[in-house]
């Protein structure tokens, strides 16, 4: 598999591993994958532009997934894509690879296409010319948290109550949910020339899409509806792709060069014209509303199941203090502290947090925020906690509710205060050299512009309170009877 560090590749890798397939991943920097693969998956060093690294990577491979592109390259991405496809195709043929599965892009070859879509189609032709059978899946917009197009839609809708929309917002497309795309990619391992599909000497091309044909504008309206946001769109005929890309750079987190090439491709209809895929694959793709709902639902599930010590500590190891960052549409403030006490002693003050004991730092600020919450119709800190030393899932804890609880390891709280969005607070303790690491993570999912203004407006105060709260927990842990006089320090 190439592209295992990417959005589609990373998810496909989990699907293949879950089905018991033996997978070998090619990566320029294997360290980016080593902690994300299963025990049976190999990670080898390789570069698509370096033929010497491709030969050993392709050895004893039955099927190869080609999931890479060079759209973010600083030079000619078309030439980089061309060179990579030639070298990979040659290496695959020399190694006796049976099939290459390639993810390309929808678009009518008989109409003028953007440079990006032309390059996607050209890569497929080059791979087919190698002599290895190629199954090319051509897709439009992928709907899933983290996909480039979906993140663009999200950023525009979340940030802009009023949008000046260019012509390309009305161009038809046939979006596909990430779950359906993965289903096609897995099924392509064994698909054969049945049901009217044409497998020529080079393989076959399948156009895949979801159930609905919609425009970007309709996608944005559906996203806004599901997020409970009111958005006004004002179409104008003069906003060129170049101007659109500058506009996107101001209001979305998209990398400017990629955003410009993406907008250039959006100008062209990307709809399924050949229904062969529906006849050959036993896949019934979902519609746009279901795909967006699934993306948002999966995000919530991922947040609920996330172990932030794994998700945020990859680069720096177990003692990394990450501070504030943004993951998807959510803001995250995650901090670590190492204390010289056993995990049970480190977790004891976390277990007793809130209520009469307070929050270990700046309790006056907590009471002030509580008063504001009550004035806004919220619950404030008046509910306290049901027991001074014990917690269970579902318990109220001041203006929080216990969402997850693992004794001596993890406490996760979901906010029930009045907020322009949703918030969680999580504590996790894990053994560390010389004692225990405490990780404290605050997550905020803003709702519209009000949510963004809220987060950015109080971020300096949050940093002060979160830092002080973690330090107070560490001090309390050091005073626990089982602590044995240890100490702590910021990691």
For the stretch 397-425, pLDDT in tens is 998 999 889 999 999 999 988 888 889 99
- Give 267's DSSP letter: T
Over range 317-332, report the average pLDDT.
Answer: 60
What does the buried/exposed string (b/e) look like for 462-478 if buried means 16 or more CB atoms within 10 Å of the residue's CB? beebbbebbbbbbebbb
How far is residue 123's CA from residue 329's CA, in Å, rounded to a whole number?
33
- pLDDT tens sequence across 350-362: 999 998 889 999 9
pLDDT of residue 186: 96
- pLDDT tens sequence across 362-394: 988 888 888 888 888 888 887 888 898 899 998
Q: What class is the 307-490 domain?
A: alpha beta
Over range 214-220, report the average pLDDT.
Answer: 91
pLDDT of residue 65: 97
Over range 8-33, report the average pLDDT.
Answer: 90
Q: What are phi and psi of 425, to 5 degrees?
A: -135, 125
Over range 252-262, report the average pLDDT.
Answer: 51
pLDDT of residue 327: 65
How far is residue 216's CA from residue 141's CA, in Å, rounded to a whole number?
9
How far is residue 269's CA from residue 467's CA, in Å, rounded to a whole number?
50
pLDDT of residue 378: 80
* Cα within 13 Å of Cα(232), Cβ side: 3
- Terminal alpha carbon distance of the chain: 36
- pLDDT tens sequence across 415-469: 988 888 889 999 999 888 889 999 999 999 888 788 888 888 888 888 899 999 9
For β-strands 323-327 and 330-339, DSSP reports them as antiparallel
More confident: 431 or 487: 431
pLDDT of residue 487: 39
For β-strands 176-177 and 232-235, DSSP reports them as unpaired
* Cα within 13 Å of Cα(268), Cβ side: 21
Which DSSP string corresponds to 11-57?
HHHHHHHHTT---EEEESSGGGTTTTS-TT-EEEE--TT-HHHHHHH
Q: What are phi and psi of 26, to 5 degrees?
A: -100, 125
- pLDDT tens sequence across 98-122: 999 999 999 887 777 777 788 899 9
Residue 148 has pLDDT above 80, yes or no: no
> What are residue 301's DSSP bridge partners?
none
pLDDT of residue 485: 41
- 71 by DSSP, 3-state: which? coil
- 327 by DSSP, 3-state: which? strand
More confident: 132 or 256: 132
pLDDT of residue 23: 96
Residue 171 has pLDDT above 70, yes or no: yes
Confidence band for 162, pLDDT divided at 50, 70 and 90: confident
Q: What is the mean pLDDT of the chain?
A: 83
pLDDT of residue 248: 61
Confidence band for 75, pLDDT divided at 50, 70 and 90: low
Alpha helices in 99-240 (DSSP H): 115-129, 148-159, 178-187, 216-227
For β-strands 176-177 and 142-143, DSSP reports them as parallel
Is the distance from CB of 354 to CB of 384 less than 8 angstroms?
yes
- Which tokens is 458 given? 């109080």
- Tell me whether residue 122 is exposed, middle or buried, using C-beta atoms within 10 angstroms of its C-beta: 0 to 12, 13 to 18, 19 or more: middle
- Which tokens is 135 given? 């199954």
Percent of the chain at pLDDT > 90 equals 42
- Which tokens is 284 given? 């019934």
Is the distance from CB of 114 to CB of 267 less than 8 angstroms?
yes
- pLDDT tens sequence across 267-287: 778 899 998 898 889 899 999
Domain with CATH 3.30.530.20 in the chain: 307-490
- 206 by DSSP, 3-state: which? strand
How far is residue 396's CA from residue 408's CA, in Å, rounded to a whole number?
19
Residue 462 Cα distances to 28, 96, 366, 415, 437, angstroms: 38, 58, 11, 15, 21
Q: What class is the 47-301 domain?
A: alpha beta
- Which tokens is 7 given? 């959005």
How far is residue 398's CA from residue 415's CA, in Å, rounded to a whole number?
9
Residue 190 has pLDDT above 50, yes or no: yes
- 98 by DSSP, 3-state: which? coil
pLDDT of residue 200: 67
Residue 472 has pLDDT above 90, yes or no: yes
How far is residue 311's CA from residue 318's CA, in Å, rounded to a whole number?
11
Domain with CATH 3.40.50.720 in the chain: 47-301
Residue 14 has pLDDT above 60, yes or no: yes
């Amino acid at each position: 598999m190439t592209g295992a560090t990417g959005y589609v590749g990373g998810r496909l890798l989990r699907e293949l591993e879950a089905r018991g397939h033996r997978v070998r991943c090619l990566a320029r920097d294997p360290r980016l994958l080593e902690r994300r693969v299963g025990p049976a998956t190999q990670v080898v060093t390789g570069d698509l532009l370096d033929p010497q690294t491709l030969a050993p990577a392709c050895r004893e491979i039955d099927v190869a997934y080609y999931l890479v592109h060079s759209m973010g390259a600083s030079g000619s991405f078309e030439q980089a894509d061309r060179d990579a496809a030639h070298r990979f195709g040659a290496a695959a043929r020399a190694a006796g690879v049976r099939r290459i599965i390639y993810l390309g892009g929808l678009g009518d070859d008989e109409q003028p296409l953007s440079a990006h879509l032309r390059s996607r189609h050209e890569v497929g032709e080059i791979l087919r010319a190698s002599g290895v059978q190629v199954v090319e899946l051509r897709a439009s917009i992928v709907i899933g948290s983290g996909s480039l197009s979906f993140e663009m839609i999200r950023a525009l809708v979340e940030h802009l109550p009023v949008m000046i929309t260019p012509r390309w917002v009305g161009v038809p497309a046939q979006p596909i949910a990430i779950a359906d795309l993965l289903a096609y990619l897995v099924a392509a391992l064994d698909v054969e020339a049945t049901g009217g599909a044409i497998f020529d000497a080079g393989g076959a091309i399948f156009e895949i899409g979801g159930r609905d044909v919609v425009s970007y504008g309709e996608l944005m309206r559906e996203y806004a509806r599901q997020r409970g946001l009111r958005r006004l769109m004002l179409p104008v005929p003069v906003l060129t792709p170049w101007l659109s890309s500058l506009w996107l750079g101001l209001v979305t987190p998209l990398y400017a060069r990629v955003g410009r090439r993406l907008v250039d491709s959006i100008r062209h209809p990307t709809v399924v014209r050949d229904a062969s895929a529906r006849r050959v694959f036993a896949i019934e793709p979902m519609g746009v509303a279901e795909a967006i709902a699934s993306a948002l639902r999966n995000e919530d599930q991922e947040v609920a199941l996330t172990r932030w010590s794994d998700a945020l500590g990859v680069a720096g190891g177990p003692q990394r203090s990450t501070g504030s960052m943004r993951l998807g549409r959510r803001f995250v403030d995650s901090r670590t502290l190492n204390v010289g006490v056993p995990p049970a002693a480190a977790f004891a003050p976390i277990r007793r947090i809130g209520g009469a004991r307070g929050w270990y730092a700046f309790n006056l600020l907590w009471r002030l925020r509580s008063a504001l919450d009550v004035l806004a119709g919220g619950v404030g800190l008046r509910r306290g906690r049901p027991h001074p030393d014990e917690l269970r899932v579902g318990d109220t804890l001041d203006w929080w509710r216990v969402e997850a609880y693992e004794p001596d390891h993890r406490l996760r709280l979901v906010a029930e205060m009045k907020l322009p969005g949703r918030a969680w607070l999580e504590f996790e303790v894990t053994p560390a050299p010389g004692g225990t690491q405490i990780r404290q993570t605050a997550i905020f999912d803003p709702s519209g512009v009000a949510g963004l203004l809220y987060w950015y407006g109080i971020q300096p105060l949050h940093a002060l309170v979160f830092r002080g709260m973690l330090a107070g927990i560490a001090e309390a842990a050091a005073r626990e009877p089982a602590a044995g006089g240890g100490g702590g320090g910021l990691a």
